[in-house]
Amino acid sequence: MVEKQNSPTQLRLKAMNWNNKIVFITGASSGIGEALAIALAKRGASLGLLARREEMLQELVAKVESNGKALALPADVTDANAGKSAAEKLKEHFGRVDVLIANAGIGGITDTKKLDAEYVAKVININLIGAVNSVAAVVPFMLEQKNGHIVAISSLAGYRGLKKSSAYCASKAGMSAFFESVRLDLAGTGIDVSIIHPGFIKTPLTSGRENTMPFLMELEDGTNRIIRAIEKRKKSYAFPLPLASFARLGLVLPTSVYDYIAGKKNYRE
Ligand SMILES: NC(=O)c1ccc[n+]([C@@H]2O[C@H](COP(=O)([O-])OP(=O)(O)OC[C@H]3O[C@@H](n4cnc5c(N)ncnc54)[C@H](OP(=O)(O)O)[C@@H]3O)[C@@H](O)[C@H]2O)c1
């Protein structure tokens, strides 16, 4: 009898088991990063948790300790050396780094009529350069292992410009392009790259906004969707579907039509 062979993709899907996976999460002290940490610890992963607020990281370590193992790695993602030494500590502690979730980020309003270039630089430095630093910190280990998974938490806001969001949109558009290039560079090395484009999720980043955020998701729903996309090693995942479809449509609309529609939408006060 001829035994049915699994394709390489099937083998990878089969192999996706969080148990004993070493996952490095940036921006782990609140919102999506914290929720991912809790959910992945329940699935058996060991975690490296990076953010600036050490106390919150220590609280999270205590929370997930009963499920998995976790290490607080207080650092600022804009500091390349601090990111590198955090990744080294993680590798020293657990022996490997299997997954990077480059999630650290800030939002914020930017109104071009009162443009604060320093603030724009800050947002781009944290959201884009911070993610670049995180990738630089783990890629040498993953290349050595001939295995790894790099996950970028980008945004639907990276598809096209939005009102009062120039810094955020630019940072996320840059992030998506950066990680796409990273994927092409790493093809054939055993390292996969997933770019996640969430819509609105209830976290401290979106709290307190008066303007309507369409299809606003509960944190648990958003986190579960992200985890499923990582498990399937999706190259790109945009959600929720209605908003993602609208964002994709925006990419092919003539600019004047896009400007007309987007000019009427204001997701920030
Ligand atoms: N919520 C949404 O609707 C939504 C939608 C699409 C994409 N996203 C993206 O998802 C990611 C997480 O956002 P969130 O909604 O969970 O927001 P959040 O609750 O405000 O969490 C942001 C995290 O990033 C960390 N962070 C910020 N600046 C940092 C820095 N310089 N160095 C290290 N860590 C830093 C924060 O920790 P510390 O302050 O302790 O450093 C915090 O843990 C962001 O990249 C965001 O753009 C969110």
Tens digits of per-residue pLDDT, 213-251? 999 999 999 999 999 999 999 999 999 999 999 999 999
Q: Which of 146, 141, 14 is nearest to 85 (CA)?
A: 141
Q: pLDDT grade, residue 267 (50/70/90)? A: confident
State if residue 51 touches ligand 1 by the CB under 6 angstroms criterion: yes
Ligand 1 contacts CB of residue 133 (under 6 A): no
pLDDT tens digits for 189-218? 999 999 999 999 999 999 987 788 999 999
Q: What does the alpha-carbon distance between residue 113 and residue 198 come to, in Å, rounded to a whole number?
A: 28
Q: Is the dihedral of CA 136, 244, 169, 56 positive or negative?
A: negative
The single residue of 119, 159, 168, 258 carrying the catalytic annotation is 168
Helices and strands in the chain, H and E counts: 10, 7
> Would residue 159 show up in a list of annotated catalytic residues for this protein?
no
pLDDT at position 2 over 60: no
Ramachandran angles phi, psi of 101, nearest 5°: -110, 105
For 57-84, how does the pLDDT look when each residue is reduced to its tens digit (9 = 90+)? 999 999 998 777 999 999 999 999 999 9
pLDDT at 20: 87
Residue 111 clears pLDDT 90, i.e. is over it: yes
Q: How far is the CA of 157 from the centre of ligand 1 (A)?
A: 14
- 169-185 burial string, b = 16+ CB within 10 Å, else e? bbbbbbbbebbbebbee
Mutate to test the pocket of ligand 1, among 58, 205, 243 (most ligand atoms within 8 A of CB): 205
Q: For residue 133, give both structure tokens.
A: 């630093």
Q: In the predicted model, what is the mean pLDDT of the chain? A: 93
Handedness of CA 27, 237, 231, 192 (dihedral sign): negative
**Side-chain-facing half-sphere of 78: CA atoms under 13 Å:** 10
Separation of 10 CA from ligand 1 center, angstroms?
Answer: 33
Beta strands at 46-51 and 99-102: parallel, antiparallel or unpaired: unpaired
User: For 10-30, what is each residue's pLDDT tens digit?
Assistant: 545 554 799 989 999 999 999
Taking residue 128's Cβ as centre, other Cβ atoms within 10 Å add up to 22
**What's the farthest any 2 CA atoms get from each other in the chain?**
73
Q: What H or E segment, with its residue span, contains residue 227?
A: helix 219-231
> In sequence order, what are the beta bridge partners of 198?
239
**Is residue 9 scored above 60 in pLDDT?**
no
pTM, 2 dp = 0.94
Among 52, 213, 230, the mutation site with the greatest number of ligand 1 atoms within 8 A of its Cβ is 52
Mean pLDDT over 170-191 rounds to 98
Distance of CA 100 to the CA centre of its chain: 9
Contact present, 148 and 138 (Cβ < 8 Å): yes
User: Would you say the CB of residue 33 lies under 6 angstroms from ligand 1?
Assistant: yes
User: At residue 8, does pLDDT exceed 70?
Assistant: no
Average pLDDT over residues 107-117: 94
**pLDDT band, very low/low/confident/very high, at 1 (cuts 50, 70, 90):** very low
For residue 164, how many C-alpha atoms fall within 13 Å in the half-sphere facing its CB? 10
Q: Residue 268 pLDDT more than 80?
A: no
**Residue 269: per-residue pLDDT:** 66
Beta bridge partners of 100: 24, 150
176 within ligand 1 shell (Cβ under 6 A): no
Question: Closest Cα partner for 121 from 74, 174, 54?
Answer: 174
Measured from the Cα of 28, ligand 1's closest atom is: 43
| Ramachandran region, residue 31 (left: φ > 0; alpha: ψ -120 to 50; beta: rest) | left
Asked if residue 105 has its Cβ within 6 Å of ligand 1, the reply is yes
**Ligand 1 near 43 CB (within 6 A):** no
pLDDT above 60 (res 141): yes
Give percent above pLDDT 90 in the chain.
87
* The dihedral sign for the CA sequence 23, 25, 28, 34: negative
